[in-house]
Amino acid sequence: MKPKQYLLWMAAAAAVSISFSACRPKGAGSAVSGNAAQRTYVPPGQYDEFYNFVSGGFSGQMSVYGLPSGRLFRVIPVFSVDPEKAWGYSEETKPMLMTSHGFVPWDDLHHIESSFTDGMPDGKWMFANSNNTPRLARIDLTTYRTAEIIEIPNTGGNHCSPFTTENSEYVIAATRFSVPPDGPQGDVPISSYKQNFKGHISFVSVDKETGEFNIAFQLKTPGLNFDLSSAGKGVSNGWLFLSCYNSEQAHTLLEVNASQNDKDFILAINWKKAEEYFKAGKGTKQTNVRYAHNKYNEHTHSATHEIKTEVTVLDVADFEDLAYLIPCPKSPHGTDVNPTGEYIVGSGKLAALIPVFSFDKIQKAIAAGDFESERYDGIPVIKYESALHGEVEKPGLGPLHTEFDDKGNAYTSFFVSSEVVKWNVEKLEVLDRQPTYYSVGHLMVAGGNSKKPYGKYLVAYNKITKDRFLPTGPELCHAAQLFDISGDKMELLLDFPTIGEPHYAQAIPADVIKDRSLKIYDINANNHPFKANGEGDARVERDGNIVRVYMTTIRSHLTPDVIEGIQQGDEVYFHITNIEQDWDMPHGFAIKGAGNSELLIMPGETQTLKWVPDRVGIFPFYCTDFCSALHQEMSGYVRVSPKGSNVALTSYAGNK
Amino acid sequence: MNNRHRIISLHRAILIISGVALLAVIALPIWRIELDAAQYPEGLELLIYSYKLDGHVDIINGLNHYIGMKTLRADDFIEFTVLPYLIGIYGLAFIVVGFLGKRKGLYILFAAFLLFGVVSMVDFWRWLYEYGHDLDPTAPIKVPGMAYQPPLIGFKQLLNFGAFSIPAIGGWIFIASGVLLAYCVFGEWRIAKTWAKS
């Protein structure tokens, strides 16, 4: 063979091996359009267009972002303690985290939903649920604080929550883990799941003015796992739709055993009917429950905690026209009602299609008795085809959640194929798909769960971020991705990290709520029992081993700032009143050796830190929030003497 | 010995070098299956050696359990015990034929190596088929009509994973040895034909 021939052979071999690599498709890569920076840049000093209230998942908190900038404004503590804000550390806030199990310092905050008036966010409150120790919270959108927390009895994990009805008549709480009803009869073999385990759906009423919660009634259901729910609106107002998985009623290795049926269910409840039955006294009073009801009063600046012991329960199987099951493939996660209320989208996380049910057809099927021959644990099962508007074919893999825009389109998140898919609700046609980085869970369209979505922005909340940001060790952030959905194609604009694991979120136009935001607490309306009425009222009082320090803060001193006569082992309560009445002028308070946290006291507010000195000596305390030019001077001393010492209890600020 | 039945030096050198290279294949990855998904921008890789599986075997097994694929375990493959010896024998056979230099030996080696190659690929395909089709009926994710057989060679989309299967360095050596062997056989066959005419 000649050299030329050798070369040819080698070239041929190289070509073969290169072509092997070439037949491999290219990865999705990152596709950001040219002027994305311009469209997300909010210049310094200017405001964002939307407030974005984002659940913190396992952080237990709710965060407030701006859209489109993705700037984080505030993290509001809800179900988890937060030493920065003394949430769960100050004497005033400790009762908020009390439950029937005692003080619970952490929870898993899953979803956020606005309070609604006529199907639109009214900007009064955000509702949030905790999945571990089942509770429901109400966050006030004037103070941006958690105003109320109520525990949910007869419930395992309160995952299917806090979705509200069209006028927030009720906030829904429903169990993800069916359990035997509360009480001593709950001591049963876990293998007796099918006989003894029940689901409970709670209808928690919301006072239109004060927002106060009350568990109006509960519906007892078969032992299904309720995942998510969506209340009817418009034509379907008065109904509630809940996704149920584990129709197998498995109690072990659910990964496999609860994934066997080709179809699970969406449970449709006529809640107006349930309310009627409840009001007509058809429910049973259950008195062996214990659940906490905690309220924060912004005039006493203190929370109260009480245990309630009664709930009214209606068993859905006892009523003919209360609840209907609709078969839904397969292990449905999200169930979402479109803005008109006519269509109900079920997202079977293991299904290869998305079924869309029609409210009209459901009503007709119920009227015609178009049911499967067998009931499911006493509940009629509507025939799949009779309820179906149609199916979206080959939408993607692992559909989880659907939101809607103002143009008749739906947006569904796909966890497994890691994408957001836009499709037309009426025509069931896929219109666009965009990758997410990576594995999107929830998604949110601004106003996407309301009667008139604002549209414009979609945020995908991703579970996996891997290579998206600078690495920070094994524990990486979850992330939000902002898409502009105003055009035909969704355009990725921005990536930003989030607090904890964001599940659901809400976005409300800034104009709707920004002017409601409180600037200061009125010092004259402060009814805290341990308020110091001005510096003249500042003092220290002893009652046995309990010492109360009535302290004031104002730029740039604490009054009193010299305290003597405290003894080792005393229970010292620092009741700090911030007598400032100026916007953005909080003061902080911390003392050496305190076994809890700092305090941050807003203008006009009184907050209390408990301190038990463990040794003799001089203990400095100081303001922790840089408040003024002389912030560093804002400090004082406590002298701690041995138990039984005869050092007199004295206090002063400035020369005596 | 009659020159008529002897292999020319170039071919003998090729055979000896190929034989040594084949012995190296025992320690090298033979085949590579790469998996790509949105959540795995870094990619996952399964490397098949003559005696073991390597790469992200545990991660791949973890993912496969959703679709009910059997766990990949080296102990389940008799091939991993036999294959190193077979490759060793072939490597030595290349060297021996190279040293002895008999044309008949070359032909026999070629036939046997071809057979080995074909049987190996059929066996490999059979395993891919079995793992791709023998799915646990109770698996959480069941897509009607869906099988998860990775391609023998080339690319195939399996749900959210793209599977790309190609020979690894050992496989390429194996193929190159076969090609070179064929080249030697072809060359020798032409020489033998010339001899026959004379």
Of B34, B160, B164, the CB nearest to A417: B160
Domains and CATH numbers, chain A: 50-516 (2.130.10.10), 526-652 (2.60.40.420)
Residue A330 predicted with pLDDT over 90: no
A419: closest chain B residue by CA: B38
Q: pLDDT, tens digit, for every residue of A131-186?
A: 999 999 999 999 999 999 999 999 999 999 999 999 999 999 999 999 999 999 99
Tell me the C-alpha distance between B93 and B196, whole Å.
27
Q: What is the CA radius of gyration of chain B?
A: 21
Confidence band for A25, pLDDT divided at 50, 70 and 90: low
Q: What is the mean pLDDT of residues A358-387?
A: 97
3-class secondary structure, A531: coil
Contact (CB<8Å) B153/A438: no
Of A13, A260, A464, the CB nearest to B39: A464
3-class secondary structure, A568: coil
A contact test, residue of B141, B184, B188, B190 with most A CBs within 10 A = B141
- Residue B197's H or E segment, with its range, is helix B169-197
Q: pLDDT, tens digit, for every residue of A177-199?
A: 999 999 999 999 999 999 999 99
Give the DSSP letter of residue A376. B
User: Could you tell me the sign of the dihedral formed by the alpha carbons of A205, A206, A210, A212, in that order?
Assistant: positive
Classify strands A571-578 and A546-554 as parallel, antiparallel or unpaired: parallel
Q: What pLDDT score does B198 carry?
A: 72
Q: A438 to chain B: which residues are within 8 Å by CB?
A: 38-39, 41
Q: Give contacts of B 165-184 with A, CB under 8 A.
A: 166, 172, 176
Tell me the C-alpha distance between A153 and A173, whole Å.
10
B35: closest chain A residue by CA: A24
Q: A13 to chain B: which residues are within 8 Å by CB?
A: 176
Tell me the C-alpha distance between A122 and A452, whole Å.
13
Mean pLDDT, chain A, integer: 95
**C-alpha triplet A530, A535, A536: angle, nearest 5°:** 90
Residue spans of beta strands (DSSP E) within A152-262:
170-174, 199-206, 213-221, 225-231, 239-245
Tell me the C-alpha distance between A579 and A521, whole Å.
10
3-class secondary structure, A138: strand
> A457 - beta bridge partners?
A484
Report the candidate in A604, A557, A603, A553 with the shortest Cα–Cα distance to residue A574. Answer: A553
Tell me the C-alpha distance between A527 and A302, whole Å.
9
Q: How far is A236 from chain B (nearest CA, A)?
A: 33
B176: closest chain A residue by CA: A13
- Residue A401's H or E segment, with its range, is strand A399-404
Where along chain B do its domains lie? 3-197
Confidence band for A10, pLDDT divided at 50, 70 and 90: low
Tell me the C-alpha distance between A481 and A460, whole Å.
5
The residues, any chain, with a CB within 8 Å of residue A91's CB and separated by 6 or more, are: A302, A573, A607, A608, A609, A610
Tell me the C-alpha distance between A130 and A60, whole Å.
8
Tell me the C-alpha distance between B188 and B182, whole Å.
10
Report the candidate in A602, A604, A632 with the shortest Cα–Cα distance to residue A620. Answer: A632
Residue A240 predicted with pLDDT over 90: yes
Q: How far is A23 from chain B (nearest CA, A)?
A: 7
CA A460 to chain centre: 16
The residues, any chain, with a CB within 8 Å of residue A361's CB and separated by 6 or more, are: A386, A387, A388, A389
Confidence band for B145, pLDDT divided at 50, 70 and 90: confident
Residue spans of beta strands (DSSP E) within chain B:
31-37, 40-48, 53-55, 154-158, 161-167
Backbone angles phi, psi at A361, to 5 degrees: -65, -40
Size of interface A-B (CB pairs under 8 A): 60
A255: closest chain B residue by CA: B140
Q: What pLDDT score does A28 carry?
A: 47
**Angle formed by the axes of helices B79-100 and B9-25, nearest 10°:** 160
pTM of the shown model = 0.92
Tell me the C-alpha distance between A458 and A417, whole Å.
18
Q: How far is B105 from chain A (nearest CA, A)?
A: 23
A353: closest chain B residue by CA: B143
Of B36, B141, B143, the CB nearest to A27: B36
Token reading at B84: 């190193």
- Residue B132's H or E segment, with its range, is helix B103-133
Confidence band for A32, pLDDT divided at 50, 70 and 90: confident
3-class secondary structure, A510: helix
Q: B166 to chain A: which residues are within 8 Å by CB?
A: 20-21
A contact test, residue of B160, B169, B175, B180 with most A CBs within 10 A = B160
Contact (CB<8Å) A467/B172: no
Share of chain A above pLDDT 70, in %: 95
> A594 with A621: CB under 8 angstroms?
no
Residue A17 predicted with pLDDT over 70: no
Classify strands A617-622 and A587-591 as parallel, antiparallel or unpaired: antiparallel
The residues, any chain, with a CB within 8 Å of residue B172's CB and separated by 6 or more, are: A17
Contact (CB<8Å) B153/A20: yes
The residues, any chain, with a CB within 8 Å of residue A14's CB and separated by 6 or more, are: none
Q: What is the mean pLDDT of residues A495-499?
A: 96
Residue spans of beta strands (DSSP E) within A34-193:
50-55, 61-67, 72-77, 98-99, 102-103, 109-117, 120-130, 135-140, 145-151, 170-174
Contact (CB<8Å) B155/A25: yes
3-class secondary structure, A536: helix
